[in-house]
Structure 1
């Protein structure tokens, strides 16, 4: 084997070894190569965040020389992004189902309304998200669990849908604000944000005319 071939083979082997080491060093704690033995030490909510009264989001940040408070803020920001993504997904699903049931076809105005409502919900609800739990992993990574109550989600969504500023189409606004559409809206909200067995739409009170003396 000549010298050039030997140098080429040595270079290839060295590159492969270095790449392998780099991959091992940068392996994320919850990445594709999961350390299941270590994960047994994790709280259940870190692996599968749930909240029986609404939606739950999880975020994490490494605790560095910048301190615990900095890591906490970073982890909470990450959890809010998680919550925001869930809200957008739920609003998208809700509108596809809701508009089809009230007889509104797919249109630019419907998509625009759904987008405006999702933005309003995210801006309002994630600011009111509650910090429920925290945990520091053996690798000094801070995990936080943040939640939003379903009552808040339903209330915010209802207000956003009834907010005239979110509409670009007057006919669409009239269609959605119709009494039958509002009843369907309540059913869809219960489906996407949780069931309320004891919650009903308020009935219209009969108008009582005063008798003239």
Structure 2
């Protein structure tokens, strides 16, 4: 698909054409069978920890949006997958250098041609976004969507780092919880419920600063 075809499909909200560029969800999830996964959130408090080596020891390391890595000591160095819902420049993408990009946002108008035609590109179905939105009674964060997606696979372990549900705000910006359209209390309660029902999920909670 050339750029003109892609941007025409994006403008016309032609979901089928855009989705044709994506690996299937079944193949994506199958690639995680038996693997340990580190999902790295962007809580500021993570920078005060020494979890970097544990993050890098996972079979698959997944980071979110701008994927800040202020120090290898706290954040590790690898980025195998990038779960994305924001626009990133070519410079930022080159710096993060993920092996695979997952477009999680329902806002397809933000999706760039470079991302959609990259190796291993995955487009998250709108139906799954809407289902989680209904469950939380608020738009889900990229992190919540990833937890929901990853636990559909046969991975062996999913460990969350840098998830304090905005208690220490985000390394990616200066907005407060009141300035973003998510319900972090609902997400925290949902994650606790998921932990009780799925022993593969663990949360390494950084102390709030």
Q: Which has the larger radius of gyration?
A: 1
TM-score range for the pair, normalised by the shorter chain length: under 0.3
How does the TM-score come out when normalised to structure 1? Answer: 0.21
Bigger relative CO (Cα 8 Å, ≥ 6 apart): 2
Q: Which has the higher helix share?
A: 1
How does the TM-score come out when normalised to structure 2? Answer: 0.21
